Amino acid sequence: MTTLDTTLGPALVDAAGPGRDHTTGPPTPIDAARPVRARWRLPRPVRRIGGPVLLLAAWQLLGDGRTLAPPSAVVAAGWELAATGELGTHLLASLGRVAQGLALGVTAGVVFAVLAGLFRTGEDLVDSSLQILRALPTLGLLPLVIIWFGVGEVPKVALVAYGTMFPVYVNTYAAIRGVDNKHVEAGRTFGLGRLGLIRHVILPGAVPGFLVGLRFALTTSWLIMIIAEQLNATSGIGYLMNQAQSWYRTDIIVLGLLIYGALGLLADVFVRFLERRLLAWRHGFEGS
């Protein structure tokens, strides 16, 4: 050992601390005896409901019953309306209108997307017109729709159909045109004709885009309905909220908003169920 090693050796050992050598290597018995702190985390379901629980607690404390009813008053109002059957009547009326409008809007959106996505002539005839109509505000058409169809059920269903057609069309059309051309070439290699490519390659590849459009359409349908039912309506959740406004019943107004939110959540759960069933072949990133 040289003079430099002899001088610095003990100093390095002392600087490293007792029981640890200055050279890299396996931990000493002293290091192994140190306790390892386990990282403790709340279960995910608890973490997911923690935010809503805190929000409800703050709402209960801040609600004054006049400008904003507390959750306890909202629950009491819902129980009262459910007991008399009034809530069920209005809820069924809203569900019926939304179902009819969605059936028409989603069907039209898919048909137009297929025509514009599969055929260049269809794209030239359909896409530019729909893009112009999509820029028009849906609720801004309400006075014109009332002039055309009157004040009955037809204008409400027509507005929902009009508003839900465009999300389905845009996303499905983009998904059709976004199908990887390598898959198309592979289908031709296996002997698929034009109809076979459409059935087995293009349309299945467009299903994810269609489901995204359907999710937006379901949300849009309730946004339109909450306004349409407050004008020239005699039933529905929106009508119930409009009547409650005249009597300053903020508990019923908040109840209607919560019902719309719950229906939107159920619609999203339904689309997620469809994704799991229809897209079982696709394995994507699910978060870390």
Give 39-64 as a 3 state SS string: CCCCCHHHHHHHHHHHHHHHHHHHCC
On whether the CB atoms of residues 268 and 276 are closer than 8 A, the answer is no
Residues 6+ apart with CB under 8 A from 88: 82
SS3 content of the chain, % helix, strand, coil (to 5): 75, 0, 25
On whether the CB atoms of residues 95 and 222 are closer than 8 A, the answer is no
Ordered by where they begin, the domains of the chain are: 69-276 (1.10.3720.10)
Q: Where are the beta strands (DSSP E) in 119-180?
A: none
On whether the CB atoms of residues 191 and 247 are closer than 8 A, the answer is no
What is the model's pLDDT at position 30?
54
Instruction: Bin 28: left if φ > 0, else alpha if -120 < ψ < 50, else beta.
Output: beta
Per-residue model confidence as pLDDT tens for the chain (288 residues): 444 444 444 444 444 445 444 455 555 555 555 555 656 777 777 777 877 888 888 888 887 767 888 988 999 999 999 999 999 999 999 999 999 999 999 999 999 999 999 999 989 999 999 999 999 988 888 888 888 888 788 989 999 999 999 999 999 999 999 988 888 888 888 888 878 888 888 888 899 999 999 999 999 999 898 888 877 788 999 999 989 988 888 999 999 999 998 998 898 889 989 888 888 766 655 555
Give the whole-angstrom CA distance, residue 239 versus residue 69: 19
What is the model's pLDDT at position 158?
92
What is the model's pLDDT at position 62?
83
What is the model's pLDDT at position 89?
94
What is the model's pLDDT at position 48?
75
